Chain A
Amino acid sequence: MSEKEWIVTVDDQDLHRLDEIVAELESAGLEVIRVLRSLGQVTGRTQTKDAVGGSAAEDSAPEPLAAVSGVVSVDAVQQYSIKPPDAEVQ
């Protein structure tokens, strides 16, 4: 099993039914980390089963998430880092 984190952005006009959308995202396979109400975004993760004779449908790619009505975009989480404390330029 490998894990991947996503950011789901909800459309302005659908923000009033954010809870409903969160529930649909969960049924579509998203394990919700946080609901960011002020931003209208949801962070979460999906589990990807390593395909061992299993069907490709086991892959929790973000397609089912993007298909949820009211979702504008589903983006893979990026990493950020700063230099170590002793670096001259940080």
Chain B
Amino acid sequence: MARYVVTFDTSDSAVLQDDAPGLLSSQGFSTETYFPRLGIGVVEGEPDQLESLSSRCREQNRPMSYTPELTYYAITDTAEPGFEDTSELTWGLQAIGIASAQQLGQAGAGVRVAVLDTGFDAAHPDFAARTIVTESFIDGEGPDDAHGHGTHCIGTACGPWQPETGPGYGVAPESEIYSGKVLGDDGTGSDTSILAGIDWALQNDCQVISMSLGADVREVHPPYVAAGRRALESGSLIIAAAGNNAQRSEGDPGFVGAPANSPHIMAVAAVDSQLRTADFSARSAPHDGGEIDLTAPGVDVYSAWLGEERHRSISGTSMATPHVSGIAALICGVSETRGEQLWQELVTHAAALEDEDPEDVGAGLATVPEPQDR
């Protein structure tokens, strides 16, 4: 169900007063928010319901148009409390409550986090002292990142709290980085490379596998059902991006794509710094596994980037996913919780977002557990 603005385009007040509300009721719409003087109403319904209202109006020669309802915000309202990047921390780290991990100095030590993506810029100065294992599953390409996406995602999951310059942007700075290149320099990959990457992560006993990738495909892809289950059974949690196929401002909420739509793979949506669902962030799909499990910061996320540029802010459920992977590493580092239990811990510690639909945010915003909750 979505909300639409219905406009009857005539100056004939008899039509606006009587015929228009009659047409609306006859098609099952409420006339509660119909304004006869304007000939405008706001109704809730499915696109095909609107289409049949439209053809009924045409038949009766009553010109009518409808558009998805837009949400407006008062311009003076922009000071609505939200998070913002400071010189100390990105808004995302603040939002997930990184402070409680920092107070205790718990930074994911001993946890192996596999990030399956476009590779990693191992020469990045923010990672000079880190344990990094890299591998490429793309024919003819080494493990280096020539795109930037992989380095950015690794930055968010495993980057520093206090880099030499700029704000802290990584969730679990003492975790061990396993960068599996499963998407080529052109940003594309296939099941052949991705499954090889998951298998490699399992061989290396990575507790967390972060996959900021997907295809806008509604069908569950069977290989990931088996892969997700076998990963959980071996104590590895796969966390994947829900997808960026929504265009909420145009009335399209999108759907969780593959492989995040598999039952044993966690699907992560994205919120902005006001903790509102991002315009592009996909909604739950109606089948087992198609749910959004958690949401995380995914708009204007500052993290590591290639070469001289070093850092860049970008958006996507790809950027939300490594926030959750980093939190998983923090939890695992403290309690050695793994697999299915780690999944449950993440969900248990999510902060409910009351203004957001669970179809969009799942259990809510992923957060770092407070010390007393551990």
Contact = CB atoms under 8 A, between A and B. Distances in A.
Interface of A: 5, 7, 9, 33-34, 36-41, 43, 72-73, 75, 77-85, 87-90
Nearest to A38: B202
A38 B199 contact: yes
B230 A38 contact: yes
A9 B226 CA distance: 8
Contact of A80 (B189, B316, B319): B189
A36 B199 contact: yes
Given A34-B192, A82-B188, 20 more contacts: A5-B190, A36-B196, A38-B199, A39-B198, A41-B199, A43-B196, A75-B222, A77-B191, A78-B215, A78-B221, A79-B215, A80-B190, A80-B191, A81-B187, A81-B215, A82-B212, A83-B187, A85-B147, A85-B149, A90-B314
A88 B230 contact: no
A84 B222 contact: no
Contacts of A84: 187
B324 interface: no
A82 B212 CA distance: 9
B282 to A, nearest CB: 12
B215 A5 contact: no
A73 B222 CA distance: 8
A34 B194 CA distance: 12
Contacts of B192: 5, 7, 33-34, 43, 77
Interface in B185-224: 186-192, 194-196, 198-199, 202-203, 212-215, 217, 221-223
B169 interface: no
Interface of B: 118, 147-149, 152, 183, 186-192, 194-196, 198-199, 202-203, 212-215, 217, 221-223, 226-227, 230-231, 234, 244, 258, 280, 314-316, 318-319
A33 B223 CA distance: 16
Nearest to A83: B187
Given A82-B318, A84-B187, A75 B202 contact: no
Contacts of B194: 80
A41 B213 contact: no
B143 to A, nearest CB: 17
With most chain B CB atoms within 10 A of its CB, the pick from A33, A72, A73, A83 is: A83
A81 B188 contact: yes
A6 to B, nearest CB: 9
B118 A39 contact: no
Nearest to A43: B192
With most chain B CB atoms within 10 A of its CB, the pick from A7, A39, A72, A81 is: A39
Contact of A38 (B188, B203, B221): B203
Contacts of A80: 183, 188-191, 194, 213-215
A85 to B, nearest CB: 5
B226 A41 contact: yes
A38 B199 CA distance: 5
Nearest to A42: B195
A40 B118 CA distance: 25
Contacts of A73: 222-223, 226
